[in-house]
Structure 1
């Protein structure tokens, strides 16, 4: 027994010695990097432990370096040998360090466990080493935007797990490698979804063997090279393809007819080649939204191909200099989703007819430099469509000064709306959308193949903004707000948007925050909305970002590294003690673990000290913890003067934080039935909700036996109060439209972007609040229901809500869906135009409007029930479409109602119809609102926010 125990101890000691040696090899390699590079993070201190969490950009597991994430850190140097010595390294991201020069050596193959290699936007040169094909674990290879030369290594074909291959924007030459008996090739990458090889100097033909039916490719981007020869027919075998970019090469011959097999294709770019024969027939491509066939030498085509009219998703047609002749059919302009048409520099003749009922999405028709002699709609042309006829006979006639004969000026680009009353900051600081002064981190995001063409539709940008912010909050990345600016199509036909990120809680980001931000965008962990598709992010490198000062000496936070000699000297004696301690301690540990388990479930905050942040901290996304004393001080000791209401939850108090911010505090009654675990779950859910059209949770208090929720203070009360005239705020038609759109955007956020998605369950005018600029904010999640992915169709639940707003299908089946909120919102829309209660004196507003509607008459003959203060004497443009939408929302069957995303789009379309910019609904000027900001009573003083009653009725609904 003694001999066997001795063997066990010896084996353990050998293992510990080996592990210690490996750990110290990583430590020495990191110190080597520190010596080799300039501008390493100040936290890289020789006296601290790199795996102790104090070295920015270094992530360890079991004391081995797993990730090195140092994007845009201003590093200067080459790629030293130390970088290839981390045998457990999985992710290496050194992107956008322009000061990194030199070559990528063959030693890269030593990183045998590497899954992600990201060296984008450095200044690396020389060939890509053939040894890179030995890293079998590699999944993501991104070497774009460097100065790599030579050929694409055929060995890349050995990377059988590779999903993403991006070598764009280098100086690579030679042909595209395919496999043969002697060599591998890119055709062997059957798991790959992305071939991004554009903007190089690749030559030769596109090998037919590059494509096969076993591939799962989504993107093939070979644009801007010097490829010649025909497009291989094997391309038509890869039926998973969504984007094909072969433009700006010297390709010739006919486009293969089997390209129509690519029924999942969304965009095809064949412009700027030497293609001949007939224009390819793309019939059956029902997902195709972009066609680029310009600047080729196709056979003469009279009119446009008839199959164009059969593509339901088509948004953009670019066929300038494509040998088109004859007249254009009016039906071309009625394709439902059509936005942009460029048929300039052809031989189009005759009379132009853009149809009396063109696509509602149509924005630009460029027909310059053709032979069009007349325009049927000339006298009634209203500029809603950007039409360009310059260089046609119709514009050469005397006295013709129509706008369509001039090249239009660009419209003002989109930018994130700001709602700041006093937009001024100290020198060097910039104002954030949340009205805080800070130093933003700047960059640009590029979408190679967005699935839309309109640059003025704010819906897309709002969706992108909200998705990014939701992701940052979910991942704990310290971004307080985000500004999107200047969307434009760059020379590469990419959609480029400038981004400004503002730090959370500080004036500057620290290095850890920037590393987390840039790495998330580099690694593709953020998934953009489907309309934007795949992207890459380039930080601003013209100026070096000044990070927040590093704080040192904080209570001994730095851990001193272990000395190698000490480890070796003590390991033998320590091993024996270790074995004894492990055996003796297992029982004690398990006993203690069981003892702690019960109170930890019943008191989830028992180990959490809110002043130190230790223990079981709730996983919050932007909300802060207040002490009882803090809230006591800002409410004058919860005085009666500060008491602004009460409800089912408890009292509501108005408070004033030291920074001047007004808050509303919901204080639970003593002896509340809600336990600590439920309260923790609630604040974790509420803290994930961040949207300008949803009332925001600022924080909470779980201290001294108190449970309190702290919200932003909304000064202009509820929509119900304004419609009733109580506030003195006059709501004309335009303002009601903006309020409807803001509310719809808030609900769409809850349904589509909140994490987890949320069904509100009690949408009504008392739960819609108006801020000082009358921006609508959806309030009160007392009844809201979070959804898992499995719940997306419906949730079976007891019926809760307010009579008059309640979805009848939900009431009958007890199956709650997002369309239940749509129904309630439809009732709110009807309230907006009538100012009537949902149920009043036995009359139901939905039935009243349905019965009164006469679609053959102006305003649907609703004059008798419309609210007179809406402005009946003025032109109520769009009201009929508004009523149509409201009635669709209150259909009895949920599957006949639109989703809130569709409601938002229709409301934005109505706003555009009446001459309003939908984006302005988020940034209206305070001076335009009479009676705004009348701080008369806080809306939470309305007990209906707690008891869920409708109007003045006392009816409560809680049916099982």
Structure 2
């Protein structure tokens, strides 16, 4: 063999040996290219989004393996097949043009975030998608045609702000669709999409609240795999088609709040797997017999229809039924005796029907029942004793029936009960001492019965009571003095009984009392003068008793909308404020009364009254003049002090009291107290910005006191403050409060610096100013809804700490948006405690003779009583929440005359449209439903009666539950009770104003 041949054969052998390595190299290069492409696409996605969860993108690094990125799944060849980033608090705009370049992408899950902008036509390029979840975001504009996505099996677009045309065209090519959820979007009015009935693999259909009109097509019966069918909150009409009976796998059927008519269709009995059925608030009629075969029902809601006939007795045998709401129909006959006795029954509401017979005894057999609502029927018999042993019961309402017998003793003392409503029956027996255990009891309605015995002293143990109506019974004995311990009591009706002896003076301690009626009893003695100290009292009826003595002059200070003291044994001079014709009938039947100017009464000697009036006028004039002169003197004195701003403070002797480790000196602070460094002025002093050499920035508040006598003259032109023995009350309050507080949402006080004539407070500096600046100045547009929400939660937590987290509760007294400061990340701090008061250890209210606070934020009771507690702060915070939602100031020219933001909001809580119109126009349309949740909390906080306002602890809980895109299902009973319902798909939380 020649040398050439040998060389050739050797080369060939070498080539054959190296081919596998070459193939491997090419293979690796190819997939390296794929890997590099996917990496760049994911990094672009990361750069387009913002998140408040630092763990989400921590692994998304340019040097990392994409298949190990959080939320990313790859196939065996390294291709990205899934992006799962739902519920990660993401915001920003989706780069769909690059996302859809992921050639093997089958799942894109981005639900429950705050993504915004429009969904572009680029989504059509994600042709291999099987799972698409863009639900519960804040997009806007129409949803594009995605007909090319024919492989889709799961499509979630619900609650994302999409408008325009309902995307039914895209559905025609998705024959493999298993789940379709596109409800809760503001689409235009649209007929029920016929394309849906062709999706015969569908098992989940959520089309609630998306402006559907017309009728349910009969073809719906072809969706035999359907387990969930929800079309509530639309404008659908006509009858429920009989073909619904073909959906034998149906687990949940929701069609409430539409305009359906006719009877429940024959064949509904076939839905034996149905657990949740809600057809409430329609115009349905006929009987309920078609439902007696649905033995797996857990919740049945048919309220506000026109159903008639009897409740099927078979309901009493349903082993899983826990919720039944049939109120406001025309049902007759008895409530099935065994109803609710098999499962952990939750509530029943069959009010406003024509039901007869007894109350079933065993609905709380398992000890879990929360509400028994059977009012306004024709029920008879006794209240079953079993309910006296139901510790979870919150609402017990059996009024306006024909019940008789003794009220079981334990009912009065149930620990969780909020309301006892037994009025207008023939019930007997006493109110027992058990009532001292009813710590949650807020309302007692027991009028028009045959209750007997004395009202027990132990009633003072029911400390949450705000309303008591025991009128028109046979109660007797003394009215217990312990009623004066009920500080939240607003209404007390005891008329039409046989109470005797004197009216307890202690009722003058019920500072929240607005309506007091003790008419038509056997009361004697004098009208307590303490009634004149009831600041909120505007209705007083003591008529038809045996009261004697004079009408207290103190009553003249009250502003009554109704007063009736007629037919007693009162004598003496009628107070001037009651000596008007409007009260003539209110004072009749008291022949010993006299008046200066009412002709129908015996005339009093005018001299004493006139001279007293003249003396009063002279005294008032003198005091007013003195106050005016003193105010002018203070004004000119302060003006003079403000001219002295530029001199050095270093000649004074200063004491530093530090509350944190300090990185600055006393001299650095004093050198910065100059006119050019002023960044704010308040009622108690100027605020300066201090920039230290180390780059740190501080805020210094300089407080002066105008009540110090004998101050020595100093050369400083800085306002002279109080001496150590006479510092201002604002200074002492702020130091005492802030020095002991450590909370992320309360401004940090580093130290106080005091001299013989000046007092300084050194705070952390908050660079983004106040919430007022952000909402009501040129920076307003930079505050999006998610940021507003986070500010609301943070500020609420700060106030919660003040009220509940300190050794003694701290009342701020001047909660407002300008006292909520924002750091570099727009996180809030509660500031300015110059008006704060630490509640006394005995829990008593603080009072003052001047109104401290800011107009528009002041709680109504503070304005006319000068008494303040934590609920006053809650009211002011409610105003702040209204500012966040509406973007309006507390006082605006556009409000009606004498109205503030609270009355303006209340006046617009009429229709869904008027409520939505309250929301700031700078908040995107798709987010307005979210803001209404916060507006609802604001309304609760600004209730006129303090006892009806939640605590700040409850406010924080409610705000956290109202987190944007955090949705839940609710069942609403007739009297407004909300019961959460655990369902597999998220529902919309509707405002219930």
Flag whether TM exceeds 0.5 (same fold). no
- Could you say which TM-score interval applies, normalised by the shorter chain? 0.3 to 0.5
Higher relative contact order (CA 8 A, sep 6+): 1
TM-score (norm: length of structure 2)? 0.38
TM-score, with length taken from structure 1:
0.40
Point out the structure with max Rg over C-alpha: 2
